[in-house]
Amino acid sequence: MHAATLPGQDAAHPDGQYGSVAKWFHWITVGLIAIALPTGFVIKFITGEADGAYKMGFYAIHESAGLTVLLVALARLLWKATHRPPPHPESLPAILRIAGTATHHGLYALLIIQPVMGFLATNAWGFPLQGRTAYLGFIELPKFMETSEGLAQVLSWIHTIGGYLFLVLLVAHVGGAIFHHAIRKDGTLMRML
C-alpha cells in the first residue's frame, strides 16, 4: 500500500483513479474513434453510385467525428494541464512506464494531427466541410485554400499513414490494458473505469 493516499484511492482502485471528467473525456474519445476510424478505412471502397450521396454520407460522418475528436482532444489536454492524473503505481516496472507513456503521448499527438491533416486534405481536394459534408450536418466551415491536387495527395498520404499508426497505437493501448488486467492483475485498467 502507498504511504500517501492517491487521488480516487479506494478498495476497488488501490492505485488511485482518474477523476470523473478525465474518464468522460476518455470514453467520449473512444466513442468518436469508434466512428471515425472504421468510416475512414472503408470510404475508398464505396463506389458505383451516380450522385455519390452514400459516399458523401460516409465522408460527412468521418469528418464530423474527426473534427470533434480534435476539439475533445484539445479540451482534454487543457483539462489535463490543470488536473494531474494519478501517478503510475510504484510497483510498475520502468519498461512498462516508458511503454505506457510513449503510447499515450503518441495517441494524444495523433488525436490532434490526424483531424488537422484530414481537414487540410479535404480542403486541398476542393471539398471543404460544406453542403453534404458540413460539420455535424449543418455547420458550414469556410473554405480557406484553393484546390491543389499535389498538396491534397501529400496530405492524404500523411493522413492515411497516421490512420494506420493510430490503429497500431490503439491496439498497443488496449492490449496493454488487457495485459495489466488479465496477466499482471494490477489496478491499471480500473483507474479509467
Q: What is the CATH number of the domain that holds 134?
A: 1.20.950.20
Tell me the pLDDT tens digit for each residue of 129-181.
Answer: 888 888 888 888 888 889 999 999 999 999 999 999 999 999 999 999 998 88
| Residue 99 lies in domain | 20-192
Instruction: Report the distance separating Cα 109 and Cα 18, nearest Å.
Output: 20
Chain-centroid distance of CA 121 in Å reads 18
H helical segments located in the chain = 20-42, 53-82, 94-124, 149-178
6 in a structural domain? no
Q: What is the pLDDT of residue 31?
A: 97
- Tally the domains of the chain: 1
Tell me the pLDDT tens digit for each residue of 100-132.
Answer: 999 999 999 999 999 999 999 999 999 888 888
Among 40-54, 55-69, 83-97, 113-127, the least confident range = 40-54
157 in a structural domain? yes
Question: What's the chain's Rg over C-alpha atoms?
Answer: 20
111 in a structural domain? yes
pLDDT band at 7 (very low <50, low <70, confident <90, very high): low
Does pLDDT of 16 surpass 80?
A: no
12 in a structural domain? no
94 in a structural domain? yes
8 in a structural domain? no
Q: What is the pLDDT of residue 3?
A: 47
179 in a structural domain? yes
7 in a structural domain? no
